[in-house]
Amino acid sequence: MKGVNYITDADNRKVAVQIDLKLLEKYNKEIEDLIDGIIAESRKDETKKPLDVVIRSLRQKGKLK
């Protein structure tokens, strides 16, 4: 793919990717979606809180009316 280069190790395994910044600008929304997915996946084992508890906490902190 034009604008994308893979960095490989001594065994020719891909270990990193280098992306041209102009390409990032073109696909900004798609990249944001990818990053959101990665973040969601990394948080899948975190403790969950009921929505009403979160809302109550935000109201107490003055961050939600």
* Confidence (pLDDT) at 16: 98
* Confidence (pLDDT) at 53: 97
| Chain centroid offset of residue 36 CA | 4
> pTM of this prediction?
0.51
In angstroms, how far is the first alpha carbon of the chain from the final one?
Answer: 48
* Confidence (pLDDT) at 25: 86
3 state SS of 17: strand
- Token pair for 56: 């109550």
Spatial CA neighbour of 14 closest among 4, 24, 23: 4
- Per residue in 2-60, pLDDT (tens digit) is 889 999 999 999 999 998 988 888 888 998 999 999 999 999 999 999 999 999 999 99
